[in-house]
Amino acid sequence: MDERSTGLHSIGDAMGRHAQDIDALWDVMLWVCGFMYLLVVGFLLLALFRRGPRRDINDHTQAHEERGLSASLATWTGLIALGLFGLTLFSYFTDRSLVQAAADAQIAIKITGHQWWWEIEYTDPNDPSRQLRTANELHLPVGTPVKISLESRDVIHSFWVPSLHGKQDLIPGRDNDIEILADKEGVYRGICAEFCGLQHSKMHLDVVVESKDGYSAWYERQLQAASPPSDPLAERGHGVFMATACNMCHTISGTDAGGSTGPDLTHVASRRFIAAGALQNHRDNMRAWLANPQAIKPGNHMPIVSLSADQLDALTAYLGTLQ
């Protein structure tokens, strides 16, 4: 797997505290259940192919054997009960530890689910001006507990980054949250895990876990407004963005574009993917996306805006400057 392109996305690659706890539980479950399965298969094969006396309906002299089988039924039932009791306890304590960690979260983030992308807001309780809004790419400092509150504007979505933690649903009218604590730097992939309509399949999320310094630097960069385009092509692209439908739905801070229906594009060029993981973020892909988003992600809410080839080139160049 090319980690640079898509990031880790597996329950087995547990890189967060919670995912590791669950992974440990999985190991126990696998061993206990595997053992029980072997017992059943062994008993079944023995029962079918054993040698020795067998009896059918005409033979009523089997009282002794009945007793033996009844005793082992009791043993079997006891074994199942014991196994289940053990697993239930283990599961319970794992669950407690997952929940308890929520107390000491240091960063508060709000994620809002949309059909079919993720809106991400960082808030600073001490300084409202340091609020940050981005989309589809979550940056976190390593080793820091983070509390994410989850909301939805439309249908039910589910936040899931398997390498970091299990799922939590985003439900309209309900306040859910999840805490994650990433142990290792790296890129982890998330995906919406509750069927949410046409493009449920293409609703990815990247989680970039960086050193604390790297995270702070990213945060400061993201706080800046977009710098005005310098080269003429990009400048023309800026004009296209403002003159066509783009600015109705998207925000680019530092400009007049203030729409809130689609993702914030202030630093869109800094993101690894476009369209919630549908395409890698480079010039050709961006141009293809702008030309016809419906071909790449059919049914998504971004309309086809008819632009000439020149306009497309210019717009692509402009968006490419939004680092």
Partner 1 sequence: MSANATEGTHDGEWLDERETRWRLDRTWSQGRGWLAALSTVDHKQVAKRYFVTAFVFFFLAGVLALLMRLQLSRAENALIGPDLYNQLFTMHGSTMMFLFAVPIMEGLAVYFVPLMCGTRAIAFPRLNAFSYWVYLFGGIMLWVAFALNIGPDAGWFAYTPLSGPEYSPGKRVDFWAQMITFTELSGLAVAIEIVATIFKQRAPGMALNRMPLFLWSMLVMAFMILFAMPSVMLASTFLIMDRLVGTHFFNAAEGGDALLWQHLFWFFGHPEVYIIFIPALGIVSAVVSAFTRRPIFGYPFMVLALIAIGFLGFGLWVHHMFTTGLPRLGSSFYTAASMVIAIPSGIQIYCWIATMWQGKPRFATPLLFVVGFILVFVIGGLTGVMLASVPMDLQLHDTYFVVAHFHYVLIGGAVFPLLAGTYFWYPKVTGRMLSERLGKWNFWTLFIGFNIAFFPMHYLGLAGMPRRVYTYGQGLGWDSLNLVSTVGAVLVAISILILIVNLVRSRKHGEMAGANPWDAPTLEWATPSPPPTYNFRHIPLVASADPLWQHREQLPVMRGLSVDKRELVLTTVLDAKPDVREPVAKPSIWPFISAIAVGAMFIASIFTPWAVIFGSIPAAIAITVWFWPKGAPPPDEEESEP
Per CB under 8 A, contacts with partner 1 among 194-253 are 194-202
Cβ proximity to partner 1, 196 vs 315, nearer residue: 196
Q: Are 228 and 203 in contact (CB under 8 A)?
A: no
6 contacts partner 1 (rule: CB under 8 A): yes
CB of 281 to partner 1, least distance (A): 14
The pair of structure tokens assigned to 270 is 């800094």
Least distance to partner 1, CB of residue 291, Å: 18
Q: Least separation, in Å, of the C-beta of 268 and partner 1?
A: 20
Please give the residues from 16 up to 55 whose contact with partner 1 meets the rule CB under 8 A: 19, 21-22, 25-26, 29, 33, 36-37, 40-41, 43-44, 46-48, 50, 54-55
Asked if residue 284 binds partner 1 (CB under 8 A), the reply is no
Residue count at the site for partner 1 (CB under 8 A)? 82
- Residue 215 CB, shortest distance to partner 1, in Å, is 24
Q: Rounded to an integer, what is the distance from CA 21 to the centroid of its chain? A: 18
CA dihedral (236, 238, 239, 245) positive or negative: positive
- As to burial, measured by CB atoms within 10 angstroms (0-12 exposed, 13-18 middle, 19+ buried), residue 109 is buried
CB closer to partner 1, 158 vs 266: 158
Binds partner 1 (CB under 8 A): choice among 139, 147, 165, 238: 165
Q: Write out the binding residues for partner 1, residues 63-122 only, by CB under 8 A.
A: 65-66, 69-70, 72-73, 76-77, 80-81, 84, 87-88, 91-92, 94-95, 98-99, 115
Nearer to partner 1, 1 or 304 (CB): 1
- Complete DSSP assignment for 223-272: HSPPPPP-SHHHHHHHHHHHHSTHHHH-B-TTSS-B--SS---TTGGGSS
Binding mask 125-154 for partner 1 (x = CB under 8 A): -----------------------------x
Q: Which is closer to partner 1, CB of 11 or CB of 243?
A: 11
Beta-bridge partner residues of 133: 121
d(CA 33, CA 56): 33
3-class state of residue 138 by DSSP: strand
What is the C-alpha to C-alpha distance for residues 321 and 173, in angstroms, rounded to an integer? 38
Q: Which is nearer to partner 1, 199 or 222 (CB)?
A: 199
- Binding piece for partner 1, criterion CB under 8 A, among 7-15, 210-218, 240-248, 309-317: 7-15
- In the bound state with partner 1, the residue whose beta carbon lies nearer, of 72 and 211, is 72
Strand order in the sheet with 146-152: 132-135, 117-123, 107-114, 146-152, 176-180
For residue 9, the SS3 value is: coil
Range 192-219 burial, b when 16+ CB lie within 10 A, else e: bbbebeebbebbbbbbbbbeeeebeebb
Of 13 and 264, CB closest to partner 1: 13
Residue 203 or 312: the one with the smaller Cβ distance to partner 1 is: 203
Closest CA to 264 of 274, 250, 277: 250
- Tokens of residue 251, six digits: 């925000």
Should residue 176 be labelled a site residue for partner 1 when binding is judged by CB under 8 A? Answer: yes
